[in-house]
Amino acid sequence: MGSKNKPVNWHSISVEDVLKQLKTGKDGLSEEEAKKRLEQYGPNKIREQKLVSGWDILFRQLRGFFNIVLYVALAIAIWAAKVPDAVFIAAILVINTTLSFYQEYKASRAMEALKEFLVATVKVVRGGESREIEVDEVVPGDVLDLEEGEKAPADARLLEVHALRVDESTLTGESTPVDKEMKQAEEKADLGDRTDMVYAGTTIVRGTARAVVTATAMETELGKIAAALEETETPPTSFEIEVDSLSKHITIGILCLVVGVALLLYLRHAMPIADIAIFSLSLGVGAIPESLPVVLSFALAMGAQQMAHRKALARRLAIVESLGSIDVIGSDKTGTLTKNEMTVQALYLPGHGVFHVTGEGYDPNHGEIEHLHEGKQQALMRLLQAVTMCNNAKQTTKDGKETYLGDPTEIALLVVAEKGGHDIAETLSKYPRLDEIPFTSDRQMMTTIHEVDGKKMAILKGAPEVILERCTHVYEDGHTEPMTDKERNEIKSVLEDLEGDALRVLAVATHELSDGAADSADAIEKDIRFLGLTGMIDPPRPEVRNAIAEARGAGIGTLMITGDHAITAAAIAGRLGMGQKAVSGSDVEAMSDDELHDKVEEIDIVARATPMTKLRVLQALRANKHFAAMTGDGVNDSPALKQADVGVAMGLRGTDAAKEASGMILLDDNYATIVSAIEEGRRIFDNIRKFVNYLLTCNVGEVLMVMLGALWGLPPVTAIMVLWVNILTDVLPAIALGVDPANPGLMKRKPRPHDEPILNKPLLWTTIFIGVKKGFMLFLVFLAGYYWLGKNLPGSERIEYAQTMAFTGIILYSFVRIFVIRTFDTLTFWSNPWLVISLGVAVILQVFIIYCPEVHDFFGLQRLGFAAWGLLAGMAVTAGFLGVWISNWITTWAGSVIDTSGSA
């Protein structure tokens, strides 16, 4: 077949030849044949950029800047015959590389694992039956059913088209959608001129089609492009740029301090060059938070995984960080605030009034049409027949059970038809469809054309006001009469009653087409006769009311944007505890930009909204400095999803175009999931601030202590001690802080400003003041050990005792920093077991190296007595109280509330 053998110009041969060469038919492949072809051609997947291997990550870590610094230090130690230093530096190299490798490897695999949460599906015809399969399972010869909003899963030749228009910009760069037709293209036609083909990755923006697959995976036109672009690198996000800039500024600042220390050691103390080099390099490695970018990526990746488990899939890592700034959510109603389980509850027939329908869900055996008797049977059957024929939902079987495939609204119409005793299969067989004018958001109706008793019959369904405007006649008691003003007013009155009960209402009409009549949509859809109304309900999701209340408490507003009438939308909003001030889409369009900017702050509901209405509302919100999330599911929602600060697509009912334009996909289409994702985003950013706070204040204090020692003339720590502190206090606790649970008060705070950097002013001043405090306190501990507690020790033991106290003080102070930061949380000590474990391991290791004879000599340590531990404990308690006091002082002085992530 053409996909693997000699290339075939599928666009320039007849449909019959296409089917013949592909060895398939209009009824599609059998399941057995499809399985064989899947084995032959492989999964329908575009080969993605090769995942970075573990070896590549390891080699990149070995080539890292800070490892190179350690290589230099190791070489100097070996050259100077400082064996203990050389051994320890080598050990630090191994430990540091291992931990960094683990974090980066885990982060890269975490994002790859998220792809498993989103499985794309497509409708195919196999063995004459329509069914839904995963896109990966599509094979050459499969027959596809394509609808508006879907992305073509493979290259395919058209078999049927109904007003089909395709966006091929991904392939051709042409921004204007292309109208497709059955006419065979020329053999030498360019890709953009092959109007009888659809190509993988292009999007159906209007209409429907049936097509036979000619190529899959890398054999498609998209696959050929992908093969040429495999080496293209993704540019960094703004958040990644900020993190990189922050790391560079911190590195430069600390390196300046380290250079100052080196100069002091040389000029004031005439220390040997080799010792100065080893010490300075070790201090630089220990003081500079080189793990910051990796820890940040690790935290974001773990947050993205947590979000996915809560049914929110972040398509880009930076979205996780952005979620914490959302202050307004523009949400669709159907399926997001509601269940998207449409059930017809009322039918209206002219002259017979309203019939109530019982039961919920998609089981026709649960419920019935009440008060139905022979006198109304004919009119009812005409209505049920119409909603069955003007319908793209399908009856199918799945796992041996009869089910439905299609739009929930259309499924509800098939279910009510069955409740009324209507035989769907018989109707569709007896009255074949000849053509279709698809539903669009602009037209707000759908028309199908059928052969009925040898004549052409058009059946229309759609928004009541659109259908009624075109109706000139009414079908009543088995015959057609001109529609009077009285009848039109009665229909409008019933419509208001049904919508007042929060029902979504569709009107149904027919038009018998005469021979030779024009076949344009305008001609077909005018002078039609009214059949009736269907009213259906989509009940609110039970969890959404609490989610909206939680969002409100977190300073996040909710704006309902729906295509339904204001009355229906307000009824649902009332049940959800939302405000009920509504405007229509036409009201929005009539407003000037300035007027909309003023009024958008007061609006709760935008009813009868179009995608362009949604886009204007979004633009008004952003003009008012809101950081907005906007939901969407249709092709025309793509502009709003792209322009939103966080575009949220629906994973269940969303079109491929909407998903591609979004930053986040809801796997359950649930509003409550957006709120959960925002909470997760806030948690992650809080944790990022926590470990930036922790790393900077601790490291600045250590460098200041060493600088004070250089000025004084005594070294408070050795190179080995600095490197040990780096492993013990910088890496493990920072990782543990990155997975801290959410603060219980997290969703009671206002959103953070979206342009606020990680190192904001309160955190910057915290770093300066707490760092200075730590540096002086640690140096005082060192002096106390040297001039007081260790003054009677002989020779080098005196300085070693003081260094042991300063060394241990650094470890203890790091733990105090964590507890001070957490005093501004409402988390318990045991709420993060990883943090408890990391601190426990650090304490055990520190005590071990002090009191184990074989080890403390290697580090140049002395056993500490009770007086030393008492002094260290007093320092820790004092440091804790001072840390809290300084934090509160900065709060007042800076005039800004320091939350848990910016606490001192």
How far is the CA of 218 from the CAs of 43, 44, 153, 626, in angstroms? 10, 8, 12, 43
Asked if 579 and 548 count as a contact pair (C-beta separation under 8 A), the reply is: no
Asked if 473 and 528 count as a contact pair (C-beta separation under 8 A), the reply is: yes
Residues in the chain: 904
**178-179 and 155-167 beta bridge pairing:** antiparallel
d(CA 705, CA 286): 13
SS3 of residue 7 by DSSP: coil
**664-666 and 646-650 beta bridge pairing:** parallel
Tokens of 623: 């003009």
DSSP state of 333: S
d(CA 671, CA 366): 28
Tokens of 97: 């590389």
Helix axis angle, 866-894 to 796-823, nearest 10°: 40
Active site includes 755? no
SS3 content of the chain, % helix, strand, coil (to 5): 55, 15, 30
d(CA 524, CA 510): 10
Q: Residue 103: is it exposed, middle or buried by C-beta count within 10 angstroms (0-12/13-18/19+)?
A: buried
**504-513 and 328-331 beta bridge pairing:** unpaired
Asked if 286 and 695 count as a contact pair (C-beta separation under 8 A), the reply is: no
Closest CA to 533 of 510, 508, 511, 509: 508
Among the listed residues 85, 167, 332, 538, the single catalytic one is: 332
Closest CA to 814 of 704, 731, 741: 731
Question: How many other C-beta atoms lie within 10 A of the C-beta of residue 167?
Answer: 22
Closest CA to 242 of 766, 810, 685, 799: 685
Q: Which residues contact 398 (CB under 8 A, 6 or more apart)?
A: 131
Task: Supply φ then ψ for residue 626, to 5 degrees.
Answer: -80, 150
Q: Residue 120: is it exposed, middle or buried by C-beta count within 10 angstroms (0-12/13-18/19+)?
A: middle
Transcribe 815-850 into DSSP letters: HHHHHHHHHTS---GGG-HHHHHHHHHHHHHHHHHH
Q: What angle do CA 836, 689, 772 make, to 5 degrees?
A: 90
The residues annotated as belonging to the active site are: 332
